[in-house]
């Protein structure tokens, strides 16, 4: 039967610790006197020693209690606890020196005793706490039977993350993982030990059967490693047919969202090489803390992540607006689970419903608005451009006008790189929304700061290529790629949302911010990587099929429009573009025409109206629109942008 500290109540454990501390402190003072006087303490100093015990030990205990060292969790002891014990004993020693200086001998111990007592007490208390910690850990160690059942695990990365992981796995047999070896690229760590686990050498050793030591699974514990190195490790592990997992990302660990022991499978994002985003958190806090924030499209991929991140800045109220009740419910419950329930209010509404929006603005008076609601599926919007026009353009214009009317401080439009020299209805409607927001900014420069933020594809968002490929792989293929040379920019949802917040802080009104998307990724290469991550071989286990470019798609995305001036920003991952805004009267005339004819005209005719408003737009027309029809469309109204 093992002894367990947790068998006792908290009060009993505190009394146990108090008794241990008292005995240790008394012994330290006693032996400090003995050492000071060569184990021949005369009667006068013996009386002084007893008097010192009566007042100095209580002072030390009170200081230990003040520094939270009378804790019922006896078996937990770490470096911060050691620092607190040091501070409490150091202050008590300073008190003893002060008493000695003011009252002299008879009341306080000699200086040599004070110094010796400090050392003895620090060593003794630390040793006692370490012994209690060892007792707790021994009581939680798995028995031989559990050890036999545990899978033998190799850990790649003998740094801080790997060390913490090995320690947690050894303490928690419930994981069923027994760390038996470390592998690391750093030669200085080879042939050493981390928590009694040997560091055998580089990860390439796993290619040698005799060096695997019966390892059944590998964990990559290198959260800061470059993507190309993670890719190399994945290929090694796939070659030797060892299943692998990885620890959470550096951002998640730094924010305290997860623990290092919360393992996950290797994902394609680990291989794309996105660098960690650095934020000016205090500047962002100034525009979000204690303010009413409205996020439209709050149930979507970007909107929901914005809500998660905004919540951490403690807004006075966060309004979650979405017309999809199920999606809104999911993000509401998640934020409640994270402890933000008192700061959030879900709002079911459609951005096309002006009366509902007026009621929301009038009642809640939002101060910052992030507009993420949109139709974004490119091929789907090509066949029904009216819906994209209503949601992406007319809805945005209506929301922006209300923001100016109700003096919202900042209006941030989430746009897309597909708005640059657009070839799709989705991109064109977003571009027209950008133009309208820019024009409103020049009209209401001192009332509302209108800002747009462009970025490309986000990994894992609904309808994006990643979940589509995952589904196709799970079904046995084929994985369908539209063109072998098609490329796209990718970034993670948290990264995009963080940079949106950074852009919102930097904006002064009228700008379009473009996020640094890194290097473009070839979709064919992405498909191959995802197949390999599934433990399969491209073109052998899973076939890749080239289907042809779909309506509205480009082979590659662009960064900037012609006529937009680049202005650097303090943040290396954000670029600012400024262009001459279009005349608001002309834009309103176009929107009026679209509003009246959105359900009266066919897809090709609506695209022609968009083309008139956006000269850079190259529409895909499944059937030619007669010249007479185009002339008729452009007669209403006469305009020039």
Asked whether the bond before 426 is cis by omega within 30 degrees of 0, the reply is no
Tell me how far CA of residue 157 lies from CA of 179, 220, 328, in angstroms: 12, 7, 40
Distance between CA atoms of residues 590 and 597, nearest Å:
11
DSSP-derived secondary structure letter, 175: G
**For this structure, is 418 an active site residue?**
yes
Q: How many CA atoms lie within 13 A of 424 on its CB side?
A: 28
Q: Positive or negative CA dihedral for 250, 254, 259, 262? A: negative
Contacts for 118 with CB less than 8 Å, ≥ 6 apart: 89, 90, 93
**How is residue 110 written in tokens?**
């000699």
DSSP-derived secondary structure letter, 617: -
By CB neighbour count within 10 A (0-12 exposed, 13-18 middle, 19+ buried), where does 498 fall? buried
Distance between CA atoms of residues 542 and 524, nearest Å:
13
219 strand-pairing partners = 155, 245
Q: Which stretches does DSSP call E strand in 462-563?
A: 479-481, 487-488, 490-492, 512-515, 521-522, 544-546
**How is residue 589 written in tokens?**
């005339």
**How is residue 482 written in tokens?**
């539209």
DSSP-derived secondary structure letter, 538: B
- Please report, to the nearest 10 degrees, the dihedral formed by the alpha carbons of residues 438, 443, 447, 451 taken in order: 0
**How is residue 205 written in tokens?**
């050793």
> Can you give the C-alpha Rg of the chain in angstroms?
33
Q: Write a three-state SS string for 177-236.
A: EEEEEEECCCHHHCCCEECCEEEEECHHHHHCHHHCCCCCEEEECCCCCCHHHHHHHHHH
DSSP assignments along 22-75, one per residue: HHHHHHHHHHHHHHHTTT---HHHHHHHHHHHHHHHHHHHHHHHHTT-S-S-TT
Q: Which helix (H) or strand (E) holds 319?
A: strand 317-322
Distance between CA atoms of residues 113 and 89, nearest Å:
14
**How is residue 172 written in tokens?**
């928690």
Asked whether the bond before 478 is cis by omega within 30 degrees of 0, the reply is yes
Task: Evaluate whether 199 touches 184 at the Cβ level (below 8 Å).
Answer: yes
DSSP-derived secondary structure letter, 271: G
Tell me how far CA of residue 158 lies from CA of 183, 192, 204, 585, 606, in angstroms: 7, 10, 15, 64, 60
Distance between CA atoms of residues 301 and 219, nearest Å:
29
Residue in 390, 418, 430, 573 annotated catalytic: 418
Closest of 506, 440, 494, 501 to residue 295, by C-alpha: 501
Closest of 87, 93, 102, 85 to residue 32, by C-alpha: 93
Show which residues are catalytic. Answer: 418
């Amino acid at each position: 039967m093992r002894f367990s500290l947790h068998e006792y109540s908290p009060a009993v454990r505190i009394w146990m610790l108090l008794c241990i501390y008292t005995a240790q402190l008394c012994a330290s003072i006693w032996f400090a006197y003995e050492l000071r006087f060569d184990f021949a303490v005369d009667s006068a100093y013996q009386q002084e020693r007893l008097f010192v015990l009566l007042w100095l030990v209580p002072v030390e205990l009170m200081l230990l209690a003040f520094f939270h060292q009378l804790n019922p969790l006896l078996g937990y002891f770490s470096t911060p606890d050691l620092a607190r014990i040091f501070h409490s004993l150091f202050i008590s020693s300073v008190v003893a020196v002060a008493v000695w200086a003011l009252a002299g001998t008879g009341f306080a111990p000699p200086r040599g005793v004070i110094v010796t007592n400090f050392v003895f007490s620090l060593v003794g208390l630390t040793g006692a706490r370490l012994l209690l910690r060892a007792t707790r850990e021994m009581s939680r160690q798995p028995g031989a039977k559990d050890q036999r059942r545990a899978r033998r695990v190799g850990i790649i990365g003998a740094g801080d993350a790997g060390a913490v992981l090995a320690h947690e796995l050894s303490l928690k047999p419930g994981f069923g993982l027994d760390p038996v070896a470390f592998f690391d690229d750093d030669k200085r760590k080879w042939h050493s030990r981390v928590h009694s686990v040997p560091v055998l050498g580089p990860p390439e050793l796993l290619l040698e059967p005799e060096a695997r030591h019966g390892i059944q699974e590998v964990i990559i514990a290198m959260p800061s490693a470059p993507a190309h190195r993670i890719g190399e490790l994945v290929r090694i592990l796939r070659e030797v047919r060892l299943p692998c997992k990885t620890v959470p990302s550096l951002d998640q660990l730094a924010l305290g969202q997860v623990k290092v022991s919360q393992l996950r499978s290797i994902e394609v994002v680990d291989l794309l090489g996105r660098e960690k985003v650095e934020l000016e958190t205090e500047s962002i806090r100034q525009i979000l803390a204690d303010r009413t924030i409205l996020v439209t499209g709050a149930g979507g991929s970007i909107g929901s992540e914005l809500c998660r991140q905004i919540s951490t800045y403690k807004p006075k109220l966060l309004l979650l607006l979405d017309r999809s009740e199920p999606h809104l419910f999911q993000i509401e419950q998640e934020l409640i689970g994270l402890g933000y329930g008192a700061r959030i209010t879900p709002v079911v509404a459609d951005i096309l419903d002006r009366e509902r929006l007026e009621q929301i603005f009038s009642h809640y008076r939002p101060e910052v608005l992030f507009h993420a609601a949109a139709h974004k599926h490119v091929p789907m919007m090509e066949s029904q451009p009216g819906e994209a026009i209503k949601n992406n353009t007319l809805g945005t214009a209506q929301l922006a006008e209300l923001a100016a009317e109700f003096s919202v401080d900042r209006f941030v439009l989430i746009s897309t790189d597909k708005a640059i020299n657009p070839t799709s209805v989705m991109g064109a409607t977003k571009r027209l929304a950008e133009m309208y927001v820019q024009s409103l900014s020049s009209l209401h420069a001192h009332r509302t700061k209108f800002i747009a933020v462009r970025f490309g594809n986000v990994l894992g968002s609904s309808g994006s290529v990643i979940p589509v490929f995952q589904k196709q792989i799970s079904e046995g293929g084929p994985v369908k790629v539209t063109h072998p040379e098609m490329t796209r920019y990718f970034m993670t949802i948290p990264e995009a949302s963080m940079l949106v917040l950074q852009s919102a802080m930097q904006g002064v009104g009228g700008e379009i911010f473009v996020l640094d998307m890194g290097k473009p990724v070839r979709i064919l290469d992405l498909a191959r990587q995802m197949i390999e991550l599934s433990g399969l071989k491209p073109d052998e286990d899973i076939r890749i099929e080239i289907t042809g470019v779909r309506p509205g798609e480009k082979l590659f995305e662009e960064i900037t429009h012609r006529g937009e001036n680049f202005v650097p920003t303090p943040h290396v991952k954000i670029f600012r573009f400024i262009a001459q805004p279009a005349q608001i009267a002309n834009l309103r005339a176009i929107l009026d025409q679209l509003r009246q004819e959105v359900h009266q005209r066919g897809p090709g005719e609506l695209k022609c109206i968009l083309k008139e408003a956006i000269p850079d737009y190259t529409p895909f027309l499944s059937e030619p629109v007669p010249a007479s029809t185009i002339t008729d469309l452009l007669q209403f109204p006469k305009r020039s942008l």
